[in-house]
Each structure stands twice: as structure tokens, then as C-alpha cells.
Structure 1
């Protein structure tokens, strides 16, 4: 409710009109959709049922032809006489004559049926005569090797058997799939069984019976199956499941199912299906039609309705905008001016033309803007004064303990080694003080900070001798980049005192600088003792917490780092400062990030000129 109250008037009018109209269009589309779906399904069921019945009748007619062909073989006098001769002779020559005679006769009877692949005649004494259209080898020579045969006392209650689809020759990958028509051959006129006949029919005969139009998407994508009572696929028009079984189908598709038409989901797709069972063959013919091809016409109607609805919404949007324009234009102007004020332009003022609610609001806005401008100016002046005070306070904190340490060194050296080294250290110390005390709040070129580090390292080398080395890697093009005074030297001092303080030899401090994405990044790395996670977390927390008073931790490392952090953020902003990375026993890296700036009159020299030979 609050969001609705916060919306602009134009938006409210647009939403109200659009919702009412869209609900009306949606209701009409829904009614039309379900009506079209119902009509389309009924029409599809009718078409599918017609296809199923016609195909089932065509299959029956073909099996009738096979039965007629089997009767011709059954009753052929030559076949009868040769089968009887087979049982009456053991002479190989006579057997060969019988085989040639039967082969010739069977081929003559098979020739008018192009889809009959082969014919086998099995005698009861384990012998088989056969003829094949492909002239391939005899695949079986005994009745007992046939899966369908259960013994001499087998009771064939039917005129014939229809066996499931198999590959005729499992050893030949190009051998066709066939169904088998099996029946007994009885002696005429006694009716006693003298042999069995198996006619292998190429399963492609069903493909020729099923006439499909490739131009019709529905017929092109429908699935046609012939199933026997055991659920084996006799024929699949896509030739994917022939001789296999159908999985994940509804009970209506399985043997004993009662429904003749319904819907099912198979392999992730929805289908409408119809089933017809042939009382003659015992086979079930099923036709499955994908739902997606049924809804193509409905989708076209939906598209038209959607386009009409979108056009109406656009008209409503235009009308609502025009109606609300004259009502909301003063408020819109006020909003634009307030946006400009939000961006920092405080010169925006409303023109007061009336004394109504909008006029009063404009006068209040103008008065408020004047008050805000005055308060911002006062706060700005106060902030400048506070910043100057902070800089002055921070400058007074810079490294007082360093002067103390240096004086102690000078005293020790003067007692042990003599005046020359004291003079050298005094000279370096004088340069340090001259650099530190002059215009500390103003940036200098990076080369000047390197010169200051040279003086500092000259003093430290007298103190620590060869216990550590300083390596500098600063490109010449960065020498003129701008940097605050005394931001690098305290980092090197921390590395010497806290990182390498207990190192007797082999200490290394590396000073690197590079430019990245408009930012100058300076890294000071030592190979000293490093810091544990708790100490790192303490320093990072301290750097994130501004401390403007003198109440600092006694750890001099913290004082130096915090001093640099505060000076950088006061001068450049809160997005810049120090980052600490350390591993115990492996050393510490302190990264300093500031904007990359170049003074207009800067001149550069080689970076190595600013580091002492021993550093």
C-alpha cells in the first residue's frame, strides 16, 4: 500500500487502466484457449482413431494374404508328396531331389509376395527345408531349435501363430527384421500333422502400408506402434523400438488396457493416443500424436490476441499520459529542480505564479534551499578549519623518537670511532630536518622523497652496518609523480626496527613503485620476522579507526602507520591509504596507494641517484 501511495499520478492512472483492460483480455483469451484446446483434441482424437483403425484393418488384410499363401503351400500336392517322400527314404540322393523340388516350389509360391523374406518347412524328424529371397544360409535346421515349438504334443488351438519381430540373421548387421507366420501342415485327407511352416515377413511391409505426409507436421511427428499381447513392439514407424518394449507408458497402452483414447506423458513429452485391437491377429495398433503440434493453431490465435492486447495497452498508456500531464507538470518541474539540487546545484529556484498548493510548496522549497545553502557554507568553513588543525597536530607527531635514537647513535660513534663519521651523520641528519620541517603539508615529487630516504639510509647504515640492504625498483617515469612528504621513510623505518631489528645479516628491504588504473602504488617489503594474524588484525583495525587526539598506542609502528594513513586520507580522501600483508617468519609488505598526479613543472632524474650506494 505504501508503494502505491508513493507512485506518481501518471503511473497510477496507467496501471489502473492497464490492469482492468488486461484482465478483460486475459479472461477472453483463457475462455477461447480452453475452447480451442477442447475442439482441437476432439478433432485429433477423431483423426487418430481413423488412422488407427485403417492401419489395423490394412495389417489384418495383409495377414489374411499370408494365411491364404500358407493355405496354398499347405494344400499344394507337390509339397504334400515331397514331405511324405521325405519320411519314406534315407537315400541322400533322394533327399537332395526332394530339397530341390521343395525349394523350387516354395520360391514359386513366395515370388508374388515381395515382402516375404524366407519360408521354412520343419519336418517332425528334425530336418528343415527352406528358401530365402536373399539366398542367405539356412539359419536353423531343426524344429527343436525354434523357441515357439514346445514339443510334438503341442496343442495349436489357433490356425496360426504370429511371432514378435526379430533380426532374421543375428550374425549379419544388414539382415532385415522380420515377423514370423507359423502354422502346421496336415496330411490330406487324414489331417494328421506332418510338418510345420514358418513364413518370415520383412517388417518394412508395415511402413509401406502406413502412408504419411511429410508436409503435415502432425503426421510427420506422430508415432505408430504395433504391439503383441506380451507388450513387445512388433513395429515402430520410427524404427527405434521395433522388437523392443515400451517403457513408462500408462496402463491403457499395456495388454488388458480398456481405454481406446486418452493422454499420456512418455519420455518427457505429452501425447494424445488411440488404440485398436485386432481380434484376428491379436495385435494392438497405437497412434501417438505430440501435443505441441496440436497447439500450433491455438498459438497463432494467442499471438493475435497478445498483439491486440499490447496495442490496446499502448493506447491506454498514451491516453493516461495526456490526461495526467497537465495535472502533474508543476510537480514534475519541482522534481527536476530537486534532482539538480541533489547533484550539487543549489541555484535552482521555483517560479511562484500562484497562491495555491503548488505556489505555497514552491515558496517553502525556495526558503528551504536558501537555508540549506547557508548551512552548507558554514559547515564547509568549519571543516576547512578542522582539517588545518588536524594537519598541524599530525605534523607535530612525526617521528620524535627518531631524533632521540639518532642522537644516541651520534654519541656512541663519537666515543668509539672519531669525528669523520659523526660529521657525515650530522650532515645527513641536517638534511633530514631541513626536508621534514619545510612545507610538510604540501606534496613533493617522488624523487625528493627518495633523496630523503637516501639521507636516512646513510644514518642507518652507520648504525647497523651490513645487517640489511635496500633495493629500489622505481621506473624513471614515476620520479615526478606527486606524493606527501614523509610517507615512505616511516615505512622503511618500521621495516628496519620491527621487521629486521633482530636480524644479524642478510636483511633485505625492497622499495617498488608502479602505476595502475590512475593510481600510484608503492610497496615496502622486508624479509624479517613478519607478524601473526592477531597483530595484523590489530593494525588494520587501528588504520580503519580515525584517531585525531594524541592518545595513541605505545607501539611506534602503530604511531607511524596511523600518522601516514590519516595524512593521506585527509589530503586525498578516504579511498586511499595503507594496506598490510604479512606472514610470520617470511616478512611484511606495506602497500601505499594514492592518486597518480604529476606537477606541471616537474623534471626527472634516474631513480638510482637517490639511493645510497650501500642501500
Structure 2
């Protein structure tokens, strides 16, 4: 056998040790210590901690998921609402603009305006041209009066002359009008029938930029379709504010900010509950270049969630801005609700886990108290627990265990009493064997000195009997010793009965060293002599044989005497099968009975061993002994 040797460095880390092995060992020791401290905790505490951690994890994950989902839903709902509002406002502005376009078309094709402009170009007198302006006023009044959103209507001639009707009580100072404007009008209107000009373009009668938007259209002569002038309708942007007003708006709509801007970021209209600054400011035009029409931006030192809709009709972008702090306020409300729900859930879970752990551990504590009483010797402690759950089954198993322990203790107590009873029986049977043994040796010596050989032989055999009986009955002896004891006994009986009976022993040599209990065969031979063969005048025979069968040592003591009736045999066998260690002897012969032998064998080796009796009247009796084959 090879013994592998290791150098000391392998264990100390000085030779061949891997880097960090001491740190790994320290971590392992710490983990073991932590696990030991955890295992030393009470079951109730561990259950409460485990339930609380698991429930905290579940409630935490649920609350975080709920919060994230609802926060995302609020943001998505905000974007969706902003898109809807921006689209609706853009469509309303389109309709508004279409009405103005129809108004401009009606003005441009009105016969009175056509005639007055025709007269204007024919007139050469400046006074006559001014007179035409007075003629145009009632016509322009008729067009503008029903339209509350129209602030003024202007007619521009090709020679830079301007006729204007305004609803303002105090007209605004006229802004210079030049051929540059006419050239710009002609260039733009060559590709489309109308154009929109914000207030900061500096055209028309306006002194406060951002208050009006001009809607300009060519006036073509009918039927030649030659351009004879331009009509400009100034729209007060405050009309947009009235149009956007919604008395049924919700909380989010009240906080939103509306901006109408063109693709360059120039603000045409701005409305909101909070001051947004001067409308001449510019909006971030990069927002309108993105493929996504919603998102988040920083504007005027404030964060907004935005969504916009571009009108292909006007070229304007209707932007809905909702302050992010308003959305965060809703998220804060959701966060507070989630926190309250989580805290209440944790308290409920903690209470339920405590009650459940208490309900589980209470029977266990009761069981521990009862086991402590059992440890002190009180075996009458029983669990009274109703139910078929694990605790109920444990209680039943505990009660069954105590019943088994009590039964085993009673059996051991009875076996000790039976053993003492057997030893006392043997001692009584010996009748002070030391004194008798010494007396028999003296008788043997005197008989041989005086030549009485038969008395000396009987004394010698009887002394051997008593010497064999003096030793402990509980110690097994070789089968050889028991047979020698039987031969001593039979020598004495031969001096009594002469040749009326004989003894045969059929035991194989290997079985002579088999271990059996002392004084288990000789009493059976004695019973055969005293009960089976006592009335026979000759031919009596006792046969002892031994063999192995099914891993057991079988000994049979057979006589050819008078035998027993079936009723007697059945009664004897029943008394053997149903006997207990405290039963008194039945059929006692020579101080040690058949029942005593049977009980001693079963107490020493178990219930599967002992005596079996077979007998028939006139055919003799066979007693079979079963011992474990321990040789």
C-alpha cells in the first residue's frame, strides 16, 4: 500500500500554495460562522425573517414594476393627449384659415372692388384717387363686420397705394409700404393663391408685433385675370386664444402651453397659463426636423413634454407643451400610493408571517416541554393535537414512540425479573451445591477406600452435576459441556434403572462447539426419564441429535415412552407460545421446568427461537430446541 507524502508547505502556504488561498479560507470560515449563527436561531425567528425577506422582495418588485409601468403609462398618455390636442388645434386653425381664404376670395372677385380699382387706374387726379378710397370703405365694412376675428382689410394697388378699413377705434400708425413688398407678394403668390405673413414682417398697419397675422391674396381682373392689386386681411391672433379656449378642459389641459410656429422656429402665436415671454422669441426649429413628433425638450429654462402637428395647408406647426413638473407631480402621487400600498402590504405580511410561525412553533415548544419531562422520567406525557397535518402526525409519532419506549421498558423489566427468577430457581434446585459438592467428594473418597465402587461412581457423577450447575446460567456453553452434564446425570439413572433404558447421542463433531444455554437439554432428558420411560420394564431409549436447518441450530430430544394425548400436547404447546417471562413454571421437573427453558431461550435470542413439542400416545415424545447458529 502506497502512502502519499505531502510537504509542509502545501498546508502552510509557503510552498506551492495558490495566491489568495488564505483569503479564500478566511471567507470560507466567515461563511461557516454566518451559517452557524443562522442555524442557531430559533425556528420562529428564521421563519419570520425568511417570510419577511421573500415578501419584501415580492412586494418591492411588484411596487417597482407597478410604479414604472404607471409612470410610463402617464408619460405615454401625456404624449397621446398632446398629439390629439395638437392635431385638433391644427385642424381648427386650418378651418379658420380656410374661412379667411374664402373671405379673401370673395373680396378679390367682388364687382364693386373690381370697378373701384378699375376707376383708380383710370383716374389721374390724386383727389379722385382718394375719393375712391371712401367708396371702398363701405364695401370693406360689409366684408369685415360679420367676422369678429378680422381686424382690418387693406387693398394694395400696383403703384404702392394703400386703401384700408380697420375696426380699431384708434387706428395704428401706417407702416411704410414699398415696391419691395409688392415684388415679394408677386413672387410668393405666383406659386399659390394666398400667403400668410406674421406680424414681424413689417407690412400693414401694426405697431405691436405678434398681435396680427396678414392673409394676402392677389386681385385679378375679370375676365382677363391680370393682377390689378392685392388684398391683405389682418387677423388678430387673440382670436386663436378664444378658439382654443375649452371650458371642459381637464387638469392637464389647463397646464399645457400652445405654440404655433413655422418651420424656421418663428413664433406666430403663443398661449399658456404661465407667462412664456415675448412672442417675438423663436422656438427650437430642430424639433420640427425630427422624424418623431413628440419628446422632451428644454425651453426657456424649463423642461417640457411636447408633441406637434404640422399643417400642410398653412405650413405652421402646432406645438403642445406640458411642463414636466406637472407630469412629475402625477408620478409623485403614484409613488406615494405605491409606497403606502407597499408599507401596508409589508405590515400585513409581517403580521401573517408572525402568526403563522407562532402557530407552527407553539406545538413544537409544547412538544419540547413534554420531552423535557420525559427526560426526567415521566413517560405519561402525551401530545393532544387535533389535525392531520405535519404537526398532528409528529404528535402521533411522538405518542407512539412513548408507548413503544414504555412497552420496551416494561419488557426489559419483566425479562430481568424472569432472569432473576430463573437463577433463583436454579439456586433452589442446587440446594446449597457447594456443601453438597464437598460432601459428595468425601463420600466418593470413603467409598473407594472401602471398595464400594458403585457408590463412588454415583458420588462422582452427582458431584459433576452439582459442579456444572454452580456456574452462571446466563452464560452460553459449548454443546459438548451440556452433553457431558447429561452423561453424568444418565450414569446416576442407570444405577437406578439398570438396563431398562439407554441414551443415544447423534451429534456431528463440528456441532459439539456450538454455543447453547446451560441446562436446556438435561431437564428435557430428565423429563423423558421421569415421565416418558418410568413405566417401561425394558427397551426404553432416549435419542439426542443435532443438525443445522435454515441458519439455525436444531436439537431434538426424543423418547419412545408413553407419550401425551393431543389435548395435553396442545395445552403444553399453547402455554409455551403464550407465556410471558413472569409466568410460573408448569410441568416443573427437578427444579427447572420446560416453560422455564423456553422463556430463557426467547429472552436470550428472540421470539423465533424456543421449544416445540410433538407427541402421540404410545409413540413417545419429541421436544425440538431452536438456537441461533452462532458457531
- Shorter-chain TM-score: what band? 0.3 to 0.5
Q: TM-score, normalised by structure 1?
A: 0.45
